[in-house]
A and B are shown apart, each in its own frame.
Chain A
Amino acid sequence: MNTGKDDRDVKLLEQILDESKQVQGVSLWQDAWKRLRRNKAAMASMATLCILGILAFLTPLLPLQSPIDKDLNNRRFLPPSLETVVMGQRDGLKFKDGRLTAQLAKFEDEIGELRTKQRSESDPDKRDAIDEQIENRIEVEHPFNQLWNELDSVSWGLCELRVSIFGDYAIPSIFGTDQLGRDLLARVFWGARVSLIVGIVATLVSLIIGVSYGATAGYFGGIVDTIMMRIVDVLYSIPFFFVVILIMTFLGDDAIKKRMNEIGIDQIMVFYVVIGAIYWLTMSRVVRGQVLSLKEEQFVESARTVGASSSRIIFRHLVPNVLGIVIVYLTLTIPSVMLFEAFLSFLGMGVSPPDVSWGLLLKDGVDALSSVKLFWWVVVFPGAALAATLFALNFLGDGLRDALDPRMKNRD
């Protein structure tokens, strides 16, 4: 307003502004959080998932045994035991002559020697040749690369940290060992990384496709909506399970695998995207329905009356109101994606060795089950890990739905 703006007036208003900062309202998010905190199952699930996530991320740092180190002679199907194991000192291991730390030191010495040799070399061609030699040796012979499969740089750093903290110590095989004598505890942990990442990445892919597709259809409505949703209906009618099998079989072909490796596409990455690209259908329907009903709400109409632009209406008015449902749906999609991954891996079409996932572990476990001798641990531990995670996600999703559901909210 352009009148009545004398100094005293402005001062008074500023004073009120200061006072208003002490009266903070309770937003619907805070309200939902309050309700969620009262739900013990959901909070326990959330804590479980947080711990699981942190542990999965820090797996290379934990003093676990190698997940790929086989011992077919002495360690096949060992039941859970507390017998101490020293990293690198086991019979049948690749470096029998010492412990991991000793082996590492030896390897570093050898590389160091090569480097001094390289420095003293005057011919640049020979220097390059030695460079290549060093790289090759690290790739093949470095103890880390023998104990773990394709570590990324972060995991490599964590592994180094682990060696400097724990030295040669490794947790005993408390989960037993599998058919090839590999430590099951380590495999469950490394499998958690893959399974969780599949769940999260595939769900994010489905979130991005689903939300943008659904919101577009819902917001524009009319003929756009009709066409877009009919496409979804058609896709729904295709049994997507077969589509995935088809795609994964096609991509599993060696020639194509090789071609994709050349371009730098990881098989497992394709797997995430394929699952995500299939799970977006329901998400898009949910979002479209929400947007369709929200855009007829009076507060959207009042924003239009005020003159707010489309983008303002979408991002300030529609999205924050759809978000609740999307979050709930997200927590319920992650477990179904994880289960689907496990199922595909179980059928041998998902994650392939030497990568590990819970589904793959279960497959190995079931293969190892026989009527002659019951190796229960190979099935029970990976199964329990998967079941616990799925339960936690479902409880959390349920809790979130109860907490965010506007119908539960006393609207007055």
Chain B
Amino acid sequence: MSTQIQSDASANRTSDPPLLQVNDLRVYFPFSRGSLFRPEHGFIRAVDGLTFDIREGETLGLVGESGCGKSTTARAIINLVKPTSGQVILEGTDITGLNDRSMLPYRREVQMVFQDPFASLNPRMTVGSIIGEPIAVHGLAKGKDRKLEVIRLMELVGLNPRFLNRYPHEFSGGQRQRIGIARALAVQPKLILCDEPVSALDVSIQAQIINLLMDLQQRLGLSYLFIAHDLSVVRHIATRVGVMYLGRLVELGAAADLYRAPVHPYTEALLSAVPVPDPNAAAARERIVLSGEVPSPDKQYVGCAFADRCWLAEDRCRTEQPSLATKDHAGACWVRATD
């Protein structure tokens, strides 16, 4: 292909500060319920003290069950929701809760690919104008140049650029997700937040999109925050993986380590639920079945949020909150992390 695009972001500056730092990020949604005269106020703790960083050129996978705050994390990073507290630091600049205008230049650095390829594209706009919108908003190119740029982007993500004037409903799910990726790439960002980009797609298409993302990462030196609830998908793409439970990170480590030797019992339980293709191996494997439900995120937990469902829980787990050590592979667990 004739497009030879290299990003300015070269991946060989590992000694520099990380591309993105998230420090103790909290996103609480206030709610009130009860009767008019005796209202009850409280917070949904969607994200409750998250700390991680993303280095240039790497992919951080974020996994957890639905409702654990993965998407809210991404939305808080890119300022779609205002964080309650904590910091989001992009290349050394604090961008936490900036207003729309002052956030604008940073939107060229961070972009997002959305979960639902059907809902995330305006049905009344042509593909060309959807992909061209970021270029127009940031004033990067005009008129014919913009169209040429769109064609280049469409080729880059493997779409037929002759379909420039078509509408989203004329494309398949996988093609639409490619449109979403092209739109994210239009401003040449360094970091792309992928919010479950493949969970709405067929398995065969999932692989294509994952491979496209990995290919783009190599060619353009991108970094990803890759959110998913499918552990095998994350294993394929991520360099490091964070496991979330109820708005908190319970385990963070290099993908290989985490999958081989999970520290936190929750990670262990999750991994044991991943289907294995070999029926004999599946039968031999011990499946950990958790009891109970995910507790409601509207309460404040004194101890470990997982304690009530954990088969290893001790007294200490219910009284003190475990924290995540800053080492390469760590789990927030009193029982396991002591050694």
- The chain A residues found within 8 Å of chain B, CB to CB, are 1, 3-4, 8-10, 12-14, 16-17, 19-29, 297-299, 301-310, 312, 316-317, 320-321, 406, 409, 411-412
Contact of B120 with A298 in the complex, beta carbons under 8 Å: yes
**Chain B residues within 8 Å of A308, by CB:** 133, 137
Contact of B162 with A305 in the complex, beta carbons under 8 Å: no
A299-B121, A412-B118 known; 18 new pairs, CB 8 Å cut-off, are A1-B3, A1-B149, A9-B3, A13-B148, A13-B152, A16-B161, A17-B147, A17-B148, A20-B128, A23-B163, A23-B166, A24-B165, A28-B124, A304-B100, A305-B78, A305-B112, A306-B137, A307-B137
Contact of B5 with A1 in the complex, beta carbons under 8 Å: yes
Minimal beta-carbon separation of A388 from chain B (angstroms): 34
**Nearest 3 interchain pairs by C-beta:** A25-B166, A4-B4, A298-B120
Segment of B36-44, B57-65, B167-175, B326-334 in the binding face: B167-175
Q: 12 A-B Cβ contacts within 8 A?
A: A3-B4, A17-B151, A20-B161, A23-B166, A28-B124, A297-B119, A301-B80, A305-B80, A307-B100, A309-B137, A412-B118, A412-B169
Interface centre among A13, A26, A297, A316 (most CB of B within 10 A): A13
Measured in the bound complex, the distance between the Cα atoms of B164 and A326 in whole Å is 29
Minimal beta-carbon separation of A314 from chain B (angstroms): 13
Contact of B169 with A302 in the complex, beta carbons under 8 Å: no
Known contacts A1-B152, A3-B6, A308-B137: A26-B162 contact under CB 8 Å = no
Minimal beta-carbon separation of B145 from chain A (angstroms): 10
Chain B residue with the shortest CB-CB distance to A31: B169
Measured in the bound complex, the distance between the Cα atoms of B165 and A24 in whole Å is 5
B-side interface residues, number (CB < 8 Å):
52
**Chain B residues within 8 Å of A320, by CB:** 122, 124
Within 8 Å by CB of A12, from B2, B100, B169, B170, lies B2
Minimal beta-carbon separation of B278 from chain A (angstroms): 34
- The chain B residues found within 8 Å of chain A, CB to CB, are 2-6, 78, 80, 100, 103-104, 107, 111-112, 114-116, 118-128, 133-134, 137-138, 144, 147-149, 151-152, 161-167, 169-170, 172-173, 180, 183, 187-188
Known contacts A1-B188, A411-B169: A23-B162 contact under CB 8 Å = yes
Contact of A307 with B151 in the complex, beta carbons under 8 Å: no
Contact of A13 with B151 in the complex, beta carbons under 8 Å: yes
**Chain B residues within 8 Å of A302, by CB:** 112, 114, 120-121, 180, 183
Within 8 Å by CB of A298, from B116, B148, B166, lies B116
Within 8 Å by CB of A321, from B122, B128, B138, lies B122
Measured in the bound complex, the distance between the Cα atoms of B107 and A27 in whole Å is 29
Within 8 Å by CB of A305, from B2, B107, B121, B169, lies B107
Chain B residue with the shortest CB-CB distance to A318: B122
Measured in the bound complex, the distance between the Cα atoms of B170 and A12 in whole Å is 25
Measured in the bound complex, the distance between the Cα atoms of B161 and A13 in whole Å is 9
**Chain A residues within 8 Å of B169, by CB:** 28, 409, 411-412
Minimal beta-carbon separation of A412 from chain B (angstroms): 7
Chain A residue with the shortest CB-CB distance to B220: A1
Known contacts A4-B2, A13-B148: A25-B137 contact under CB 8 Å = no
Chain A residue with the shortest CB-CB distance to B78: A305
Minimal beta-carbon separation of B183 from chain A (angstroms): 7
Measured in the bound complex, the distance between the Cα atoms of B118 and A303 in whole Å is 15
Contact of A299 with B119 in the complex, beta carbons under 8 Å: yes
Chain A residue with the shortest CB-CB distance to B116: A298
Known contacts A25-B163, A305-B78, A306-B107: A20-B133 contact under CB 8 Å = no
**Chain A residues within 8 Å of B173, by CB:** 412
**Chain B residues within 8 Å of A305, by CB:** 78, 80, 107, 111-112
Contact of B80 with A307 in the complex, beta carbons under 8 Å: no
Known contacts A28-B167, A302-B183, A305-B111: A321-B124 contact under CB 8 Å = yes
Minimal beta-carbon separation of A17 from chain B (angstroms): 6
**Chain B residues within 8 Å of A25, by CB:** 126-127, 163, 165-167, 170
Minimal beta-carbon separation of B322 from chain A (angstroms): 34
Contact of A23 with B80 in the complex, beta carbons under 8 Å: no
Measured in the bound complex, the distance between the Cα atoms of B153 and A4 in whole Å is 13
Measured in the bound complex, the distance between the Cα atoms of B172 and A56 in whole Å is 48
Within 8 Å by CB of A309, from B5, B100, B162, B172, lies B100
Contact of B114 with A298 in the complex, beta carbons under 8 Å: yes
Contact of B166 with A307 in the complex, beta carbons under 8 Å: no
**Chain A residues within 8 Å of B180, by CB:** 302
Minimal beta-carbon separation of B231 from chain A (angstroms): 25
Contact of A21 with B122 in the complex, beta carbons under 8 Å: no
Measured in the bound complex, the distance between the Cα atoms of B168 and A299 in whole Å is 12
Minimal beta-carbon separation of A85 from chain B (angstroms): 55
**Chain B residues within 8 Å of A310, by CB:** 100
Minimal beta-carbon separation of B108 from chain A (angstroms): 8
Measured in the bound complex, the distance between the Cα atoms of B118 and A17 in whole Å is 26
**Chain A residues within 8 Å of B144, by CB:** 17
Measured in the bound complex, the distance between the Cα atoms of B169 and A394 in whole Å is 29
**Chain A residues within 8 Å of B187, by CB:** 306
Minimal beta-carbon separation of A223 from chain B (angstroms): 14
Measured in the bound complex, the distance between the Cα atoms of B126 and A27 in whole Å is 8
Contact of A303 with B133 in the complex, beta carbons under 8 Å: yes
**Chain A residues within 8 Å of B134, by CB:** 306-307
Contact of B163 with A20 in the complex, beta carbons under 8 Å: yes
Minimal beta-carbon separation of B244 from chain A (angstroms): 21
Interface centre among A13, A20, A305 (most CB of B within 10 A): A305
**Chain A residues within 8 Å of B121, by CB:** 299, 302
Measured in the bound complex, the distance between the Cα atoms of B140 and A306 in whole Å is 13
Contact of B164 with A20 in the complex, beta carbons under 8 Å: yes
Chain A residue with the shortest CB-CB distance to B148: A13
**Chain A residues within 8 Å of B100, by CB:** 304, 307, 309-310
Contact of B125 with A316 in the complex, beta carbons under 8 Å: yes
**Chain B residues within 8 Å of A10, by CB:** 148
Within 8 Å by CB of A26, from B6, B122, B167, lies B167
Contact of B107 with A20 in the complex, beta carbons under 8 Å: no
